[in-house]
Structure 1
């Protein structure tokens, strides 16, 4: 029986989770929320995390009824992510591990999402769509690695949604992506947007530029070779609807292509954007047509959390993975396929 505590803080969420053999004992989280129209900057995000991390550590221990002496391994997010928030979490995790005299493990953030999704949904060997504010990847497991079949070549899908929310001044509470999702439900008029699938990869920066220019020029006269015309008007709800439909269709297409290549009959959606019900619906339609099944989790485990780091770390620890103290660093660009998956049997 392995009891693990996990610290996650790669972006604007700071979380501490405790697990015991796949059982979630505590999942405490705080979010750094900025005013509408503003993103979260690394330095200020790290300051937020430093201000609350000891409080949520105390809360996690109280909720779980676990004492420090009972914990077998301390786990933290090694990367990928924003450097100042990652450093904050790594320093606290290193300090706690030394005070408690416990082994320390650095966990890949993406692996944490995947293993948490597999634990909660019981998906066996799915094609994984990993969609978040900083990452967009289509992944499948093979020969002790999570192989990346496709990914974004510029910005992540969550970053695209967040930046559009700032353009139209949507609230960041509870998250810009969630507020886009809710506003899109009342949209009905579709604005054709660039559809940027390049083989197995996707691109979102051009779509964002296109829709940003549309917002900026709404209602203005535009020059046309035949005659001047006024640009057609779309509500913010229409634009949110159009953006979601376009970028989610791109993700479904590339995921289906990976499934066909791997002969997969399961899809697991992980990452913060994976909570989006419209994305889940579109993936469900595709899977139903293929005789496959889609798995997803709710916001407790989809959005960045400490439990996913604790669970992935416990899997690593149980399979014999150990880390020297001089390796207890962070890596901003920590690739999913860099990690040897020692805990899965081929």
Structure 2
């Protein structure tokens, strides 16, 4: 049996996971939270990761009930992601690999999301909707390669949600997207927003600019609530993603959808399956 310990720190979350032959033994994490209206900057995020990573590593080993000698390989996120946090985590992973005398494996962040989802769900040949703070893509596996069928032509869906959260001062704890989702559940009025699907690609920057301007005017005049805007933005963005994903499924004759990435944790991105068996990583 092969035991792998992995270090992830490509954005504001730092995590150390231990997997044994596909079984997740531990996965402790810490998240760098900034005040409402503010994003997280690379330098401060890296400083946060540096301050907690050894504690998280200790927790991972204790939770898994393992010692360094039980580990066969050390893996870490090689990229893509934020430069300073990635470097901080990579440095610790390389040091650990040298101290423990274990081989070191750099993992592509995007492929890691997909393969982790396939491993946990046992999906055979899914169409992948990859939605996160920095990525928005519809991907399928064909002829031993990942093929991108559609993607954002400007900003990622997670970035769009995060930036809107800053505009209306939504809390970043535990994440802007989660809090937008909770507010959206209370929305009752749909505010029509631009719907920008271009073939298999989507565009979010125009929607963001539109709702940023509309928020200032409509909230001031009490034409709608912040909850209504959250509801409208979420419904519009996710409808666009559903459209291009369904089109890719038809092209690939796929019967499964795997939703991966941080934005996939919101229940509204899972219309393809029953909520009881939905899964996002």
Q: CA deviation at 1:219?
A: 6.2
> What residue in structure 1 maps to residue 249 of structure 2?
259
For residue 203 of structure 1, report the CA deviation from its aligned partner: 0.7
1:297 aligns with 279
1:106-117 alignment runs, 5 A limit = 106-117=106-117
Distance in 2 (CA, whole Å) between partners of 1:148 and 1:43 is 32
Tell me the residue number matched to 2:2.
Answer: 2
Using the alignment, how far apart are the partners of 1:232 and 1:178 within structure 2? 24
Separation of aligned partners in 1, 2:196 and 2:36: 28
Unpaired stretches in structure 1, ≥5 consecutive residues: 221-230, 286-292, 303-346
Paired positions, count: 281
Q: Deviations over 1:200-238 (max 9, x none)?
A: 111101100000000122367xxxxxxxxxx77110010
Contact 1:267/1:294, CA 8 A, preserved across alignment:
no
Aligned residue runs from structure 1 range 59-138, under 5 A: 59-138=59-138
In structure 2, the residue matched to 1:227 is none
Q: Show the 5 A alignment for 1:261-340.
A: 261-281=251-271, 283-284=272-273, 296-297=278-279, 302=281
Aligned to 1:181: 181
Q: Distance in 2 between matches of 1:183 and 1:202?
A: 24
- Cα distance in 2 between the residues matched to 1:296 and 1:153: 27
- The aligned counterpart of 1:43 is 43
TM-score by length of 1: 0.79
Write the distance in 2 (CA, Å) between the matches of 1:123 and 1:207: 33
Task: Tell me, yes or no, if the aligned pair for 1:130 and 1:271 is still in contact at 8 Å.
Answer: yes
> 1:56 corresponds to which residue?
56
Contact kept in structure 2, 1:151 and 1:202, CA below 8 Å = yes
Matched ranges for 1:140-219 at <5 A: 140-218=140-218
Per-residue deviation, residues 293-344 of structure 1 (Å, max 9, x unmatched): 996426xxx2xxxxxxxxxxxxxxxxxxxxxxxxxxxxxxxxxxxxxxxxxx
Instruction: Report the alpha carbon displacement of residue 130 of structure 1 after superposing the two structures with TM.
Output: 0.5
Q: Which runs of 5+ in 2 are unaligned?
A: none
- Secondary structure at 1:193's aligned position in 2? coil
The answer to whether the aligner puts 1:236 opposite 2:239 as a matched pair is no
Cα distance between partner residues in 1 of 2:81 and 2:74: 19
